[in-house]
């Protein structure tokens, strides 16, 4: 599965703009994302990610492949539900994976024309908007759709860096 995703910094009126689109509220989630680095290759250099996401409805392990283009955060994504995130963390540790970062956020989700619009309040960073779609093939068509939504929300400056990278940049600036 290809996750087609764009991200931008939200404006103060972004929630109102989402409502004006006619997007339907899905709900609010609290995320704790635990990112791991591989003993085999540096995910920062290979542009990959391995994450345990813990939220109210359970936990998931996700692998994200390298980004597919220069404009969006589109990439192959594989996700499985896990019963015990602590045990999964221990398994990864025993296999040589190292916890490299934690990201906490409050995500307000909306459904819009088969896409998900997420308004993320990221601890230590501020508020961002993500527009996501899923594709098996022809992900470029979905790319055009998510970019179109971003444009309609008047948020055209896309951010390709992850929340981890943004947090690292902020720490480096202090």
Residues annotated catalytic, as ranges = 35
DSSP per residue over 56-84, as a string? TTEEEEEEE---SSSSS--EEEEEEEES-
Residue 71 CA to residue 6 CA, distance in Å, equals: 8
Q: What are phi and psi of 127, to 5 degrees?
A: -110, 135
Q: What are phi and psi of 139, to 5 degrees?
A: -65, -20
Pairing of strands 98-112, 115-122: antiparallel
Residue 34 CA to residue 60 CA, distance in Å, equals: 10
DSSP code for 138 = -
Give, for 28, the enclosing helix (H) or strand (E).
Answer: strand 24-37
Helices (H) and strands (E) in the chain, counts: 5, 8
């Amino acid at each position: 599965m290809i996750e087609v995703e764009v991200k931008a910094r939200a404006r103060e009126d972004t929630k109102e703009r989402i409502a004006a689109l006619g997007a339907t509220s899905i709900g609010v989630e609290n995320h704790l994302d635990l990112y791991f680095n591989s003993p085999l290759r540096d995910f920062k250099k290979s542009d990959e990610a391995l994450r345990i996401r813990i939220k109210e409805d359970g936990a998931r392990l996700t692998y994200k492949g390298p980004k597919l283009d220069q404009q969006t955060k589109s990439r192959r994504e594989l996700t499985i539900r896990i019963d015990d995130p602590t045990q999964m963390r221990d398994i990864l540790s025993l296999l040589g994976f190292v916890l490299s970062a934690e990201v906490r956020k409050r995500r307000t989700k909306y459904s819009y024309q088969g896409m998900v619009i997420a308004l993320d309040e990221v601890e230590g960073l501020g508020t961002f908007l993500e527009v996501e779609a899923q594709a098996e093939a022809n992900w470029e068509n979905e790319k055009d759709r998510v970019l179109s939504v971003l444009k309609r929300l008047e948020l055209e400056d896309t951010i390709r860096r992850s929340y981890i990278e943004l947090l690292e940049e902020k720490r480096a600036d202090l």
